[in-house]
C-alpha cells in the first residue's frame, strides 16, 4: 500500500514536471535591450504568470509581456487603462489630467534633472485608451518602443504579468 502511494506520487510529480506547457502557468523569459531600465536590465531573468489576468484585473504599474508583432515579444509597464486619457509631456505623465506618481522612476528622473536634462524627451498627445486595450511605456522613456509608437495594446496580446525578476518577487 505505501509502495503504491509512493509510486503514484512520483508519477503525478513526474507528469507535472514533464507535462505540456499548457499546465505551466509561470514561464521564463530573458529581457533584451534597455527599454525597461532601471527596473529591468538586459539579460534579467523574468518569471511571467500567463494565467494571472484570468483572476485579476490589469492595474497601473503592472509590468507585462505581450506580443508586439509576429515573433516579437515586448516587456513594458501598464500606464493607462481603458477609458482613461493619457498624455506625456517631458517627465510628466498625465492620466485623466492628473500627474502619475511613478516612484520606480524617481531616482532616474532626479539624476537627469541634476544634470539639467529631462529624463524623457518623447511626448505624446492626449488620447483616450479604447476598450479592450491598455497604454504601455518602457521605464527608459527616451529609449523605448512602446504605445507612443506601436499604439494601444489589445488585451489578447498580453502573455502575462511579470511576477519575478531574477528570482525576486514583483508585485
Let me know if 144 is a catalytic residue. Answer: no
Reference 160, options 67, 31, 56, 52; nearest CA is: 52
Let me know if 142 is a catalytic residue. Answer: no
C-alpha cell at 141: 522613456
Among the listed residues 20, 45, 72, 76, the single catalytic one is: 76
Reference 156, options 64, 93, 77; nearest CA is: 64
Among the listed residues 8, 14, 35, 142, the single catalytic one is: 35
Residues with catalytic function = 35, 76
Amino acid at each position: 500500500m505505501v509502495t503504491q502511494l509512493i509510486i503514484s506520487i512520483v508519477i503525478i510529480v513526474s507528469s507535472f514536471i514533464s507535462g505540456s506547457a499548457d499546465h505551466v502557468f509561470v514561464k521564463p523569459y530573458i529581457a533584451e535591450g534597455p527599454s525597461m531600465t532601471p527596473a529591468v536590465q538586459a539579460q534579467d531573468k523574468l518569471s511571467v504568470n500567463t494565467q494571472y489576468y484570468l483572476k485579476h484585473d490589469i492595474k497601473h504599474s503592472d509590468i507585462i509581456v505581450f506580443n508586439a508583432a509576429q515573433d516579437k515579444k515586448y516587456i513594458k509597464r501598464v500606464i493607462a487603462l481603458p477609458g482613461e486619457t493619457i498624455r506625456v509631456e517631458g517627465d510628466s505623465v498625465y492620466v485623466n489630467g492628473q500627474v502619475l506618481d511613478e516612484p520606480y522612476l524617481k531616482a532616474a528622473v532626479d539624476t537627469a534633472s541634476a544634470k539639467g536634462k529631462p529624463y524623457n524627451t518623447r511626448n505624446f498627445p492626449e488620447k483616450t485608451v479604447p476598450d479592450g486595450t491598455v497604454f504601455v511605456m518602457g521605464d527608459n522613456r527616451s529609449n523605448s518602443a512602446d504605445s507612443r509608437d506601436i499604439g494601444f495594446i489589445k488585451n489578447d496580446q498580453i502573455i502575462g504579468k511579470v511576477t519575478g525578476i531574477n528570482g525576486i518577487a514583483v508585485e
